[in-house]
Copies of this chain bind each other. A is one copy, B any other.
């Protein structure tokens, strides 16, 4: 048995994720067939499914990557940069994310896999809690609702990005800030 380094395994995983993200973005969730995933990653189905159990697992991993990255930006650089990051995302990738999440909402297996990742949302809620406690966010509305509203603004903006509809990102940032600011 050849010895495979941890680095090699990681690099291979990244190669699969990058290729698959492109295939999903280009062809949609259904359209990203196993043959297209092979082509986009440059690897055989055997190799792909050695690292990820199924196409759905691969997609869930990618969706979670995007959510996690956005959460990291919120925690490290604040809400304004998180909103700006959405504006800079690939429209095609955001499109398949939204398409899949609306389409697969009736698939209990998919929803279960996504929910396992939902520890993420308590991390984000914590951010709104702390900002409310230190007086930088309004306190007349529960912090959970502030977080839900901010998430809705981000998702609504994502839909604009997907549709290639115009917007002024700095106007969005100001309007969201003013909504959440202490009264």
> Which residues in A have some Cβ–Cβ distance to B below 8 Å?
28, 30, 95-96, 98-99, 101-103, 105, 141-142, 145-146, 148-149, 151-157, 159-160, 162-168, 171-172, 174-176, 178-180, 183
CB <8 Å contact, A163 and B101: yes
Chain B residues with CB under 8 Å of A175's CB are: 141, 145-146, 149, 179-180
Query: A29 vs B83: C-alpha distance in the bound complex, in angstroms?
Result: 30
Chain B residues with CB under 8 Å of A28's CB are: 103
Chain B residues with CB under 8 Å of A142's CB are: 168, 171
CB <8 Å contact, B179 and A152: no
Taking the closest CB of chain B, its distance from the CB of A58, in whole angstroms, is: 20
User: By CB atoms of chain B within 10 A, which of A102, A162, A168, A178 has the most?
Assistant: A102
User: By CB atoms of chain B within 10 A, which of A146, A153, A154, A163 has the most?
Assistant: A153
User: By CB atoms of chain B within 10 A, which of A101, A142, A167, A179 has the most?
Assistant: A179
Q: List 14 A-B contacts (CB under 8 A).
A: A95-B103, A99-B99, A102-B162, A145-B167, A145-B168, A145-B175, A148-B166, A148-B168, A148-B172, A149-B175, A152-B156, A154-B156, A155-B155, A156-B157
Chain B residues with CB under 8 Å of A157's CB are: 152, 156
Chain B residues with CB under 8 Å of A178's CB are: 178-179, 183
CB <8 Å contact, B145 and A171: yes
Determine the residue in chain B with the shortest Cβ distance to A149: B175
User: By CB atoms of chain B within 10 A, which of A28, A152, A159, A176 has the most?
Assistant: A152
Determine the residue in chain B with the shortest Cβ distance to A167: B148
Taking the closest CB of chain B, its distance from the CB of A147, in whole angstroms, is: 10
